[in-house]
Amino acid sequence: MTQSPQSAQISYNTSLKQLENAADIIKLDPAAYELLRHPLRELHVTMPVKMDNGSTKIFHGFRVQHNDARGPNKGGIRFHPDETIDTVRALASWMTWKTSVMDIPLGGGKGGVICNPKNMSLGELERLSRAYIRQLGNFIGPQKDIPAPDVYTTPQIMAWIADEYSIMHGHNQFGVITGKPLALGGSAGRGDATARGGIYCVREAAETIDLNLAGARAAIQGYGNAGSYAHKLAVELLGMKVIAVSDSSGSIYNPDGFLYEALMAHKKKSGSVTGFPEAAAISDKELLELDVAVLFPAALDSVITKTNAPDIRAKIIAELANGPTTPEADTILYKKGVYIIPDLLCNAGGVTVSYFEMVQNAYGYYWEEKEVQQRLEKKMKTAFLAVQQKSKAYNVNNRLAAYIVAVERVAEAMKLRGWY
Ligand code: GLU
């Protein structure tokens, strides 16, 4: 993944403000509002892990279940040195809204472990992943709370977790987690799902604002799973030219556009996109401010701020990361007429195909990649339309519209269940 560990943190207060704005507009019942302001449950865990040098290191982690009115909690696990309970809380609530915007029968959760995977061996990572899942114990489960990959966690980590959980329960329980490798009940099409969902949204957005994408320029901030697949698919599906990309080591630029295969091969070999031949080094700030049709923030949160927002020239911002735009930047960009596809919608392809993975695990019957992609496309288009219609109905920006769609659905489920 591709972010500076120093980036400003997402705060739960910001997410509460977004909820408050939506609640005001739809005149949400006060009890429902109070319920949604708090996670239903959270667990703090401490884990001893044997390190390769013979020492034992103590790690801390969390799992937050924000709301499961519409179905089991769902959301990724982050391994990050700056992880905090506050960030995990915010991200868990965003999963509630994300699954609701997508209208998939799931709630919202998120997990985090404070660690720096970049400084850990594979063996240490495996022992930490297994220790974390043992500590979560029955807090999670295929009908209760289903984790998945997120920042710095991979299909291999999902495989260890599926294995550990299966051992704990005496039989295979692969449905406890999604984003698994194909050989362990993963879904075809999960790998590029986050980027693919975002690309489908970009296509819809361009149509809405009458922007021709063929041959148009794109810049990608972050070259992890979402960012690198966004490069591949922006070229393949939209005919765009990706003229700048970045990762935690720096940003590169080539006005003629980068070839995905060549850049990926370079990154695999050297560990970074920087130093790619026939590319100029630019600053991360310059990348964000390039004159492009589409800017994809695809790393960590809070990279588009009130400081750089006035200089952003992209026509569309496609938020593949969670929380890349601060609320102040949001207001500035909205006034400037930039079309923002909010994270709740733009990066929801990942959790949507995770949901497909759960369905296939429960069914014991697996779909071909084409079928997954077709189903994803349909889901993304429907959600995009729902957000667009709300935005028109209430004359609000896309982000607030996405919140309104989401909060209304969760509130309806809570009402029907008799929670208020
Ligand atoms: N971590 C991803 C997200 O933030 C995917 C979650 C999932 O697949 O459950 O949406």
| Helix, strand and coil in the chain, % to nearest 5 | 50, 15, 35
Mutational pocket test of ligand 1: of 100, 192, 347, 351, the residue with most ligand atoms within 8 Å of the beta carbon: 351
Query: What strand order describes the sheet that includes 41-50?
Result: 41-50, 56-67, 108-114, 77-80
Cα–Cα distance, 133 to 315 (Å, whole number): 43
Classify residue 1: in a domain, yes or no: no
**Do 213 and 333 fall within a single domain?**
yes
Q: How far is the CA of 336 from the centre of ligand 1 (A)?
A: 30
Q: Note the pLDDT of residue 213.
A: 98
Question: Who contacts 107 (Cβ-Cβ below 8 Å, separation ≥6)?
Answer: 65, 66, 67, 68, 69, 70, 71, 72, 73, 74, 95, 96, 99
Let me know whether 151 and 258 are in one domain.
no
**What does the pLDDT profile of the chain (420 residues) look like in tens digits?**
333 334 457 889 888 999 999 999 999 999 999 999 999 999 999 999 999 999 999 999 999 999 999 999 999 999 999 999 999 999 999 999 999 999 999 999 999 999 999 999 999 999 999 999 999 999 999 999 999 999 999 999 999 999 999 999 999 999 999 999 999 999 999 999 999 999 999 999 999 999 999 999 999 999 999 999 999 999 999 999 999 999 999 999 999 999 999 999 999 999 999 999 989 999 999 999 999 999 999 998 899 999 999 999 999 999 999 999 999 999 999 999 999 999 999 999 999 999 999 999 999 999 999 999 999 999 999 999 999 999 999 999 999 999 999 999 999 999 999 999
Ligand 1: residue whose CA is nearest its atom 8: 351
Task: Using DSSP, state whether 308 is helix, strand or coil.
Answer: coil
Report the distance separating Cα 282 and Cα 280, nearest Å: 6
**Closest atom of ligand 1 relative to the 348 alpha carbon:** 10
Structure tokens at 72: 């089991």
Whether 366 and 242 share a structural domain: yes
Q: Is residue 57 part of a domain?
A: yes
**Does 161 share its domain with 72?**
yes
Ligand 1 lined by 148 (C-beta under 6 Å): yes
- Calculate how far, in angstroms, residue 98's C-alpha sits from the geometric centre of ligand 1: 9
Confirm whether 351 is domain-assigned.
yes
CA angle 376, 69, 160 (to 5 degrees): 60
Query: What values do phi and psi take at 24, rounded to 5?
Result: -60, -50
CB of 190 closer than 6 A to ligand 1? no
Total structural domains in the chain? Answer: 2
Evaluate whether residue 294 is within a structural domain.
yes
* Residues 169 and 204 grouped into a single domain: no
**Does 354 sit in the ligand 1 pocket, CB within 6 Å?**
yes
Residue 23 lies in a domain: no
* Predicted pLDDT at 25: 97
Q: What pLDDT sits at residue 245? A: 98
Out of 127, 148, 177, a domain closes at: 177
- Residues tagged active-site: 110
Range of the domain at 124: 43-177
Q: How close is the Cα of 357 to the center of ligand 1, in Å?
A: 12
Task: Report phi then psi at 365, rounded to 5.
Answer: -140, 130
Q: Which atom of ligand 1 is nearest to the CA of 98?
A: 10
Residues 87 and 230 in one domain: no
350 lines ligand 1 (CB under 6 A): yes
DSSP letter assigned to residue 115: -
Residue 173 and residue 193 share a domain: no
What integer pLDDT is reported at residue 300 of this predicted model? 87
| pLDDT value, residue 14 | 84
Counting from 1 in the atom list of ligand 1, the atom nearest the Cα of 94 is: 4
Mark whether 225 and 151 lie in a shared domain.
Answer: no
Among residues 155, 177, 199, the one where a domain terminates is: 177
CATH of the domain at 78: 3.40.50.10860
Evaluate: CB of 28 within 6 angstroms of ligand 1: no
CATH code of residue 209: 3.40.50.720
Closest CA to 378 of 180, 196, 182: 196
Same domain, 151 and 231: no
| 173 lies in the same domain as 200 | no
152 and 237 share a domain? no
Q: How far is the CA of 195 from the centre of ligand 1 (A)?
A: 12
Q: Smallest Cα–Cα separation from 128: which of 80, 84, 85, 176?
A: 80
Considering the domain boundaries, does residue 310 fall inside one? yes
Tokens of 235: 């070229």
Residue 207 belongs to a domain: yes
- Write down which residue in 123, 152, 177 finishes a domain: 177
Among 213, 168, 162, 151, CA closest to 186: 162
What residue owns the CA closest to ligand 1's atom 9?
A: 75
178 close to ligand 1 (CB < 6 Angstrom): yes
Q: Within a domain: residue 80?
A: yes
DSSP string, 150-214: -TT--HHHHHHHHHHHHHHHTS--GGG-SS--GGGTPPTT-TTHHHHHHHHHHHHHHHHTT---T
153 and 211 part of one domain: no
Pairing of strands 250-253, 241-247: antiparallel
Angle (CA) 294-298-303 rounded to 5° is: 90
